[in-house]
Amino acid sequence: MADSENDRKSEIERLRLASELRQLAKETSDPDLREHWLRMARQWSGEVEEPAQDHAVDDTEVDDTGVDKDLDE
């Protein structure tokens, strides 16, 4: 079987699984479980949200002098 056909079948299976997970989320009354099913559906369908990045802290510019600049000496 050609790679493109395998890729197409894999994509269909992932979308089918995502659809089933969304159906489970719709049918459950537990909000935590609902969020879990929806998160899994996003993962399988490729709709994963990028994690929020905190741009306030840049680990590449750490002052490692051992001196706490916030304390009065």
Please state, as a whole number, how many other Cβ atoms lie within 10 Å of the Cβ of residue 36: 15
Q: How far is CA 44 from the centre of its chain?
A: 10
Q: How far is CA 14 from the centre of its chain?
A: 16
* Residue that has been written with the tokens 């089918």 in this structure: 16
Contact 37, 25 (CB under 8 A): yes
Report which of residues 68 and 51 the model is more confident about.
Answer: 51
27: pLDDT strictly greater than 90: yes
65: pLDDT strictly greater than 90: no
31: pLDDT strictly greater than 70: yes
Average pLDDT on 5-20 reads: 95
Report which of residues 2 and 12 the model is more confident about.
Answer: 12
